[in-house]
Structures are given as C-alpha cells and as structure tokens.
Chains A and B, each alone.
Chain A
Amino acid sequence: MKYLNKILVLLVAVLAIGTVSAQSVRDLRFNEILIKNTDNFDDEYGRHVPWIEVFNTAYNTVNMAGCYITDDTTGFAAGKKKGGSAPEHWYRIPKTDVHTNMPQRSYLVFYLDAQPLYGTFHVNFDPRTSKTNYIALISADGKDLIDLMYYPKQVLMDSVVSFGYEMDGINTEKGHILDQFTPGASNEIKATVSKQERLKRDDPYGLGLAIISMSVVFTALILIYCMLKLFGHASKKIAQRNVKKSEGESAAKAQLAATDGKEDEEDLISGEQVAAIATALHLHFNSMHDEESEVITIDMPSAHYSPWAQKELAMKKTPTLRRK
C-alpha cells in the first residue's frame, strides 16, 4: 500500500503541476493595438476609443480575471501595493465577469478609454494622455510581468493604423504596423494557411510528425510501464506480508492442535475435491440455462403429499377400447 500511496501522490502531483501550468495566465499575449480610432471598432456604447487585443496562446481556457493592465509599471518590483491597493494606473480585471474566461486560441479586446465604470473591458487609463509608450499585463499578485508591448506612439497617435504581430502571439519579433485591423480576430490575414497546408509545407516527408508521434506513443506507454512496475512491487510486498501473516497463523494453529492433541482434518481438502468443486462451479456459471423456479434434487421432499401436486390426477385419462 505504501507504493500505491506513492504512485497516487506522484500522479496527483504530476496532474496538479500539469493543470496549473497548462491553465496559466502566462500564456496571454498582447496582439494588436490601435490608438487613433475615428471610424474603427466601436465599444458597446458606440464610441470609437483606443483598444488593445489580448490573445490566449494556450490550447486550453485561461481566466484572466484578477490580472492587471497598465501603462505604468513604476513600483512594479515592489508588488501591487503600497498599503494594499494597486498603483493608480493599474487596471484590475474584475473577477465577477465570466467573459474574462478565454477559450483556447481566442481573442479579447480591451478599450483604453480611462472609463473603468463603463464595464469590465474598459481600463482606467488612456494611451493618448499617457506618458509612456507601452502597455503591460501583470499577474494577479502583482509580481509577474506577463507581457509588455511597446508601440510607436507618435505613429499611432497621428494615423489610423494598428500595430501588432503578424503571427498571433509571436512577440519574439518586433511588431509591425498591420495592413488590416483585426480586433477580436487573427492577425494572420496574409498568411492564412490551413493546418494541413502548413504541415505539408513544414514537414513534407512526414518525418517530424513521425518522430513527435512515436515519442508521444512511447511516452504514454512508458508511463503505463512505470505504473505497472510500481504495481508489481506493491503487489509483491503485499503478497509477502500476507504470506508472513498466514505463516504466523498456521504456526499458531499448529501449536494449538499440538496442545489439543488432534489434527484439524476437516480443514484439509484434497486436490480431487477442489477440482470437483471448481468443475461444478464452472458448469453452474457457464452452462446455458434459464431461471428455474424449481430445484431438482435427490433429497427427500420436505412437503407432505398432496393430490393437488400430482399432475397425473389433473389429466384426463385416455379411454381404453373394450371389445365385446
């Protein structure tokens, strides 16, 4: 059982780590920003205000409630507060809105209008009046910088263009002025290639897929192998413990029999008897028979004789032919 407990603890730990890391807000990225909004995307009040798009790069749902969006990371290293509250330009995403739950590979647009009372997706600062040229996404505890997007402020203030990354969520390269506005949608307008086409392009001979897939198959089955190994050890231990226990019991029994001066012969069953019992049970459980309400037995019936139970008496007798 000790081993089984270990396996359980290990598995729970692995799953917990996997779950926590898989559903992390660290997978969120700023994807596109637009500041000069004259006739572009409007908010739920019909106003044209600056907006920024967040992309969930993960393949699972991520809830960004509690995180901060800000244009001023001053005091960031000290955590979210001085005296319990977040700095002035830190907008905390409310925890009560279900829409902050981002499905896998989805997009969410925030309005940068300094109107936090207008709703969950309206932040408390405006880049047009901001002194900085970046937007930051900070974790709920205020200690981790999840993403930071620098943008060409003057260009975005002067012309109606959006700035972002050509490939969704890939912020390792420098951002670009994008050809099209795509709030709430993929930036990959130009290179819209299907999964299949991309696979054909990147892995024309199927070698990459073969290696990855075989690795995953082996990983899955090696995990099962490890589990079975642990099972084996645990079961061996249990068996040894049981043997010791039964040896102790039989020794005690033998001692008792020796003191009584007789052997407990009734407990001993011969091999033939075991075989006969096993065969009878096998036949009973595997033979084809329906549910009988009666039992056929060679025992003497316990019920008394009753004419009602005699089938012969209930039947009309066959007439006999008499010849004169």
Chain B
Amino acid sequence: MFDFFKEGLLQFFSYSGFGNCTWGHIIMICVGLFFITLGIVKEFEPMLLVPIGFGMIVGNIPFTDGLQIGVYENGAVLNYLYFGVIKGFYPPLIFLGIGAMTDFSALISNPKLILVGAAAQFGIFAAYAIALLLGFTPMEAGAIGIIGGADGPTAIFLSSKLAPSLMGAIAVSAYSYMALVPVIQPPIMRLFTNEKERLIRMRPPRAVSHREKVLFPLFCILLTAFLVPSGIPLLGMLFFGNLLKECGVTKRLANTASGPLIDIVTILIGLTVGASTQATNFLTPKSILIFVLGAFSFVVATATGVLFVKFLNLFLKEGNKINPLIGNAGVSAVPDAARVSYVEGMKYDKTNYLLMHAMGPNVAGVIGSAVAAGILLSFLY
C-alpha cells in the first residue's frame, strides 16, 4: 500500500512541471516576467510585451510530451492558435488595423518625408550582409535583417516564410527593440546631430483635403503592389484599412478593424509568439546572435534615417529644412519612434513640436518596411 502510494506520487511528480524543469525553462520564465514588468511598470509597448511575456511563461512551463498541450504539438489548442503565425495570416490582419488607425496627413502634406522612411530601411540590408558573414543562410539572413524594419508583424510575416525555425527569436527580438526605442534611439540621434540642427523649426503642415486622403491609399496600393507584388498581403491590407478609415462611409468597418479585430489578433499573435519561445528551441547561440544583429540593424536604421535628413537638408532652402531629430522615425515602430523625436526635440526647444512632422517618416517607414519585406520575399523565397 505504501509502495503504491509512493509510486503514484513519484509518477505524478514526473508528469508535473517540477519534474521536467530545466535551467532553460527557468531562464525563459524569468525573461517572460521581465517583459511583463517592462510592460506594466515602464509601460514600454505594454500591448505587446504583456501578451508576449505571458506567452513565454505559458510556453515554458515544462510538461511531458504527448499530452497535446504544447504550441508545437499537433492537435494542441495553442498549436491551432499558432497556425495564424506559421501561415502568416495574423500580420496582414494587424496591418489592416494599423491602416485603419493611421492618419497619413503628415506624409501627404510634406511628401519629402517619405524618403526618410526609405533611407531608414538600410538597416535591414546591413544586418542581412552581416548575418551572411556570420554564416547564416540567405533566407535566415533576410528574416533576421527585417528586425531593422522595426515592424513586429512584418518581421513575423517574413520569418514565417523564410526561416520558421528562427521566428520566435526574431519576433521577440523585433518587439523587444521596438519597446526599447526610447532607450536605443536618443543616443544615436544625439551622436549624429549638432545643437543647431536640433533646433530647426519645420514649416507647419498644410491642411489635407478629404479627397487627397481617399485617393492616397488607392494610388499607393497601385504603385507599390505593381512594383513589389510579393508585398501585397501587407501593403494591400494596410491601404485597405486606411481606405476604410478615410472614405467616411465605412465607419463601422474601420472601427472594427482598428478596434476589436486588431485587439484580438494582437492578443493571439503576442501570446502564441511568446509561447513559441520554448527553451529547447529558443536558448541557442543562434538566438543570441539574432539579438545582437537585431540591435545592430536598429542602430544602423536609426543612424541612416538621421543622416539622410542631414543629406536632404543640403538641398533644401532655409525655412524648408527638416529637423534631423525626426530621421529616427523612419524605422517604423509607430508611434513610439515619432514620440522619441518629439521628446528629444522638446529637450532642446520647449516650443518645437516635432510629433506631427515625425509621423510622416514614421508611417513612411511602415510602407518602406512592407516593401522591403516584399523584395526579400521575392528574392529569397
């Protein structure tokens, strides 16, 4: 009787999380807790870091295989939810919501800011080149490089196609750096600008008519999708969402896309991406390299954005010049990067409001990173 009791307990223990726990699991759970703390206490991208952090905890609770509970086990609930990440249909839905939330007025009123969004994509390709040198395959390098686009859904979309095995690390890296934009970008912005440039006042944006706002997504999808058809899933949804918002007759659809729909998908994508970072798959030397390369691409993207504004200023007349502090916003990461520009600008001139100006390159960065993802997909997939 005692033996039976003892054996039962031991068997139960072997099925429990305590019996299967490794240091890897503990480390990943700690990372998850750290993400949640960052999200709640520091309020760094809480909408992303809280679901991802919780997903990490859920995905790293040790269990014995075969119970259909893990994210990688066929038939498990988490596996079904993860399907949207693997097949890449969550990111376009998020882009639909982003389109329905984004006001492109700043960009329409000052079109040259769109070029800043293009320049900042250089970080993607710089990271691609370095990743190749470090021994990653071209497909893996492309998926890693897209971290520099500072766009979580784009990173997930591309890595799910090019390097599914690295998707967890890439997604976590992309979202982490997006959350850390207020920490990473300001030193680079200060490094490449001088006092005089930081005080540049930009001309107030002109009023944008309703007609322009409606025509913008229609023309943009035609121009970009014809050029890069592989970007259609992201660009199509982005501009469709924006048309719903701007046309004025589909308010309910726009509200759904920018509200409940994007919230649901964000919850699912955050939780499942977090859960996909199981210690056995995640804690590898490759993941560490991905984090390093992600940081590198972020730094390069920010620097090229700022430097490109300085380059543009060489050709602009006095009064039309652009404050280089908005160059960082070209990396996408809407709207945090624009907020960083604003905060940095305020440090040097309390009356210089850069937020609206920074939104131009910021939304251009979204378009630019989606185009870049499309190009990488067409070359590497």
Once bound together, how far apart are the Cα atoms of A228 and B87, in whole Å?
Answer: 35
Once bound together, how far apart are the Cα atoms of A213 and B127, in whole Å?
Answer: 13
B348 in contact (CB, < 8 A) = no
Given A196-B139, A216-B228: A235 in contact with B212 (beta carbons within 8 A): yes
Q: How many chain B residues touch the partner (CB < 8 A)?
A: 46
Besides A195-B380, A220-B368, A239-B209, 7 other A-B contacts (C-beta < 8 A): A18-B226, A200-B137, A209-B125, A220-B118, A224-B224, A231-B212, A231-B216
A160 in contact (CB, < 8 A) = no
B367 in contact (CB, < 8 A) = yes
Of B111, B129, B219, B227, the contact of A219 (CB 8 Å cutoff): B227
Contact (Cβ within 8 A) A220 B227: yes
Given A213-B125, A213-B379, A216-B375: A221 in contact with B132 (beta carbons within 8 A): no
Contact (Cβ within 8 A) A206 B125: yes
A78 in contact (CB, < 8 A) = no
Which residues of A are in contact with B by a Cβ distance under 8 Å?
A: 4, 7, 11, 15, 18, 195-196, 199-200, 204-207, 209-210, 212-214, 216-225, 227-229, 231-232, 235, 238-239
B301 in contact (CB, < 8 A) = no
Of A11, A18, A207, A225, the contact of B112 (CB 8 Å cutoff): A225
Given A213-B375, A217-B368, A235-B211: A222 in contact with B115 (beta carbons within 8 A): yes
Sample of 7 A–B contacts (CB below 8 Å): A210-B125, A220-B223, A221-B371, A224-B220, A225-B111, A228-B216, A235-B212
Say what secondary structure dominates the interface of chain A: helix
Say what secondary structure dominates the interface of chain B: helix
Q: Taking the nearest CB of chain A, how far is it from the CB of B166, in angstroms?
A: 15
Contact (Cβ within 8 A) B376 A196: no
Total CB contacts across the A-B interface at under 8 A: 122
Given A196-B138, A217-B375, A223-B223: A209 in contact with B118 (beta carbons within 8 A): no
Contact (Cβ within 8 A) B122 A214: yes
B247 in contact (CB, < 8 A) = no
- Tell me the nearest residue of chain A to B235, going by C-beta: A220
Contact (Cβ within 8 A) B108 A15: no
Once bound together, how far apart are the Cα atoms of A219 and B211, in whole Å?
Answer: 25
Which residues of B are in contact with A by a Cβ distance under 8 Å?
A: 107-109, 111-112, 114-115, 117-118, 121-122, 124-126, 128-129, 132-133, 137-139, 141, 206, 208-209, 211-212, 215-216, 219-220, 222-224, 226-228, 364, 367-368, 371-372, 375-376, 379-380
Once bound together, how far apart are the Cα atoms of A38 and B220, in whole Å?
Answer: 57
Once bound together, how far apart are the Cα atoms of A238 and B208, in whole Å?
Answer: 12
Contact (Cβ within 8 A) B129 A205: yes
Once bound together, how far apart are the Cα atoms of A217 and B141, in whole Å?
Answer: 18
Of A200, A212, A220, A229, the contact of B224 (CB 8 Å cutoff): A220
Once bound together, how far apart are the Cα atoms of A269 and B206, in whole Å?
Answer: 25
Once bound together, how far apart are the Cα atoms of A224 and B118, in whole Å?
Answer: 11
Most B CB within 10 A of own CB, among A11, A195, A213: A213
Once bound together, how far apart are the Cα atoms of A225 and B212, in whole Å?
Answer: 13
Most A CB within 10 A of own CB, among B138, B208, B367: B138
- Tell me the nearest residue of chain A to B127, going by C-beta: A206
Q: Which residues of A contact B222 (CB under 8 A)?
A: 11, 15
Once bound together, how far apart are the Cα atoms of A196 and B212, in whole Å?
Answer: 42
Once bound together, how far apart are the Cα atoms of A33 and B30, in whole Å?
Answer: 66
